[in-house]
């Protein structure tokens, strides 16, 4: 499934691979509190390397952004990154208005938009027929919102968002491909308890 | 006839005593004073939601981050939150403290509330969520403290149903 990384601007129709995008972001994710949605994002991030600061919300679709918001509001000293998907965001569009309202500076929202619900068989979502999540986020009041389609653009946007003072949503257009397996060796509850213990251990 | 400020004050103080620092809310008539109290309190973070289910995620995040929170909503909001409760909080064994204003049952004048009233307790039972109906301000502190204790020991949602006799002053 993985065709290897495509670096630089997409000159052809070939879209960025989500796995390569996660690898590019990974060094910076090491120092953040990360919440992912279920499916390919969770499995691929784990395949790169699970860490106790990563929490994979493997259901409750739509709520990864809300979980991230809860952490960001509870612990303003921590950097929170939500790794979201188009299907999930579409299930909680109202949550973008809540992001717009509270706009925590310590939160970066990355939406991997593969225009489909991949793990259930590739059902095309509305972003495949013109719905523009970056524009929706901006209109919802998210202070900084942009769409990227190359690894270079993503890396640059992510660095700027982490270092900047504005809550940011980055919609990364990626190919509709994913891992062979979605169930991983890391138990849901094992992850949940380890993550909570990790957050407790961080100095306030 | 009005929403009871006195009862709202008792509930709010019980929330603070239980250590709640984040409250997510989607307003409905009976919750207006509670929400205002949260907003006016600089020690409380109020998160106004577009949809009640977001509150499940916010409470999950707050809990994982070590902060106590509560959800304020009416029973229709609880119904709107069910998937988040089941496949979020319950799947991950995360406590929730849900304060649910109990619309649609005895004394309800608004016809649009009546279906929700009829199924609230059945849905809570179906989800095996422990709940207690509150009608008397004198029991609020005790029951809220107990609800929080149970939520944290069981790592499950617990609901307090705020009844008409508690929240509404018929005068």
Q: Is B55 within a domain?
A: yes
**DSSP, residue by residue, A38-106:** STHHHHHHHHHH--TTEEE--SSTT-HHHHHHHHHHH-TTS-EEEEEEHHHHHHTHHHHHHHHHH--TT
- Amino acid A14: pLDDT: 82
pLDDT of residue A12 exceeding 80: no
Instruction: Identify whether B134 is part of a domain.
Output: yes
Nearest by CB: A189 against B49, B59, B92 = B92
Question: Per residue in B2-30, pLDDT tens?
Answer: 999 999 999 999 999 999 999 999 988 99
Contact criterion met (CB < 8 Å) for A73 and B62: yes
Contacts of A71 in chain B (CB under 8 A): 61-62, 64-65
The residue segments making up the domain with residue B68 are 2-165
Nearest CB to B62 within list A70, A78, A92: A70
- The pTM assigned to this predicted structure is 0.95
Average pLDDT of the residues of chain B: 97
Which three-class secondary structure state does DSSP give residue A12?
Answer: coil
Q: What is the CATH number of domain A18-201?
A: 3.40.50.970
Encode pLDDT of A43-57 as tens digits: 999 999 999 999 999
> What are the domain boundaries of chain A?
18-201
Tell me, yes or no, whether B94 lies in a domain.
yes
Mean pLDDT score of chain A: 92
Chain B nearest-CA residue for A77: B65
As for the ipTM of the complex, it is 0.97
Q: Structure tokens of B33?
A: 């004073």
Q: How many whole angstroms separate alpha carbon B1 and alpha carbon B17? A: 29
- The CATH number of the domain holding residue B130 is 3.40.50.970
Torsion-angle region of B42 (φ positive above 0: left; ψ -120 to 50: alpha; else: beta): alpha
Answer whether residue B60 is part of any domain.
Answer: yes
Look at residue A8 in the predicted model and tell me its pLDDT: 41
Tell me how many domains chain B contains.
1
Whether pLDDT at A108 is above 60:
yes
Distance CA B137, CA A62 (A): 36
Inter-residue contact A67 to A95 (CB < 8 Å): no
């Amino acid at each position: 499934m993985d065709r290897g990384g495509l670096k630089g601007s997409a000159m052809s129709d070939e879209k960025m691979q989500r796995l390569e995008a996660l690898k590019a972001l990974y060094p910076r994710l090491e120092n953040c509190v990360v919440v992912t949605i279920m499916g390919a994002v969770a499995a691929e991030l784990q395949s790169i390397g699970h860490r106790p600061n990563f929490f994979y919300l493997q259901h409750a679709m739509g709520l990864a952004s809300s979980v991230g918001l809860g952490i960001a509001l509870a612990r303003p000293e921590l950097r929170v990154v939500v790794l979201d998907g188009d299907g999930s965001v579409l299930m909680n569009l109202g949550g973008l208005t809540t992001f717009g309202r509270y706009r925590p500076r310590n939160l970066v929202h990355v939406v991997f938009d593969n225009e489909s619900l991949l793990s259930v068989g590739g059902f095309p979502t509305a972003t495949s027929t013109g719905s523009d999540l970056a524009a929706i986020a901006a209109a919802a009041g998210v202070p900084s919102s942009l769409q990227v389609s190359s690894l270079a653009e993503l890396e640059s946007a992510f660095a700027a968002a982490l270092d900047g003072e504005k809550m940011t949503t980055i919609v990364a257009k990626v190919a509709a491909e994913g891992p062979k397996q979605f169930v991983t060796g890391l138990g849901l509850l094992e992850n949940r308890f380890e993550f909570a213990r990790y957050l407790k251990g961080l100095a306030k | 006839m009005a929403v009871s400020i006195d009862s709202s004050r008792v509930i709010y103080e019980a929330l603070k005593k239980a250590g709640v620092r984040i409250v997510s809310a989607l307003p409905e008539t009976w919750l207006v004073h509670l929400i205002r109290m949260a907003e006016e309190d600089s020690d409380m973070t109020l998160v106004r939601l577009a949809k009640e289910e977001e509150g499940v995620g916010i409470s999950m995040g707050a809990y994982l981050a070590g902060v106590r929170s509560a959800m304020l909503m009416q029973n229709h909001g609880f119904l709107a939150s069910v998937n988040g409760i089941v496949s979020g909080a319950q799947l991950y064994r995360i406590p929730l403290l849900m304060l649910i204003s109990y619309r649609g049952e005895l004394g309800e004048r608004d016809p649009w509330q009546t279906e929700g009233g009829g199924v609230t307790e059945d849905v809570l039972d179906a989800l095996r969520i422990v709940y207690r109906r509150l009608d008397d301000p004198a029991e609020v502190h005790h029951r809220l403290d107990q609800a929080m204790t149970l939520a944290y020991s069981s790592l499950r949602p617990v609901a307090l149903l705020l009844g008409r006799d508690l929240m509404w002053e018929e005068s």
